[in-house]
Copies of this chain bind each other. A is one copy, B any other.
Amino acid sequence: MNKKQESVKWLAENFTEDEKKGFYKAIYSRRDVRSHFISKIIEDSVLSKILHAAHHAPSVGFSQPWNFILIKDIETKKKIKESFDEEKNRSSKLVEDPKRSKYLSFKLEGILESPVNLCVTYDPTKFGPFIIGRSSMPEAGLYSVCCAIQNLWLSARTEGIGLGWVSILSNKVLKETLDLPEHVVPVAYLCLGYVDEFAEKPDLETKGWLPRLELKDVVYFEKWNDKENKNWVGIKEMIKDNLNYA
Q: Which residues of A contact B (CB under 8 A)?
A: 2-4, 6-8, 10-16, 18-30, 32, 44-45, 47-49, 51-53, 55-58, 60-64, 66-73, 76, 87, 90-91, 94-95, 99, 103, 106, 108, 121, 127, 130, 132-137, 139-140, 142-143, 146-147, 149-151, 153-155, 158-160, 165, 167-171, 178-181, 184, 187-188, 197-200, 202, 204-205, 209-210, 212-213, 215, 218-225, 231-232, 234-235, 237-239, 243-246
Known: A108-B132, A132-B108. A224 touches B22 (CB 8 A): no
17 further A-B pairs in the complex, CB-CB below 8 A; given A67-B220, A137-B167, A181-B224: A7-B246, A8-B200, A23-B154, A24-B53, A48-B245, A49-B245, A55-B218, A58-B150, A58-B153, A61-B204, A67-B218, A70-B220, A70-B222, A91-B136, A94-B130, A121-B224, A140-B167
Known: A4-B243, A28-B10, A180-B224. A151 touches B150 (CB 8 A): yes
Q: Enumerate chain B residues within 8 angstroms of A106, measured Cβ to Cβ.
A: 132
Q: How far is the CA of A132 from the CA of B66 in the complex (A)?
A: 25
**A-B residue pairs in contact (CB < 8 Å), sample of 11:** A6-B246, A32-B58, A51-B219, A55-B215, A63-B210, A70-B235, A94-B130, A132-B168, A134-B167, A143-B187, A146-B146
Q: Report yes or no: B62 in contact with A210, Cβ–Cβ below 8 A.
A: yes
Q: Most chain-B Cβ atoms within 10 A of its Cβ — which of A6, A44, A167?
A: A167
Q: How far is the CA of A238 from the CA of B132 in the complex (A)?
A: 32
Quote the shortest CB–CB distance from A61 to chain B (angstroms).
Answer: 7
Q: Enumerate chain B residues within 8 angstroms of A55, measured Cβ to Cβ.
A: 213, 215, 218
Q: Enumerate chain B residues within 8 angstroms of A170, measured Cβ to Cβ.
A: 136
Q: How far is the CA of A212 from the CA of B61 in the complex (A)?
A: 11
Known: A170-B136, A205-B62. A12 touches B69 (CB 8 A): no
Q: Report yes or no: A179 in contact with B224, Cβ–Cβ below 8 A.
A: yes
Top 9 nearest A-B pairs (CB, nearest first) are A22-B22, A19-B22, A146-B146, A52-B245, A91-B135, A150-B150, A44-B234, A62-B204, A133-B167
Q: How far is the CA of A23 from the CA of B187 in the complex (A)?
A: 25
Other-chain residue from B19, B71, B87, B204 in contact with A222 (beta carbon distance below 8 A): B71
Q: Report yes or no: B224 in contact with A150, Cβ–Cβ below 8 A.
A: no
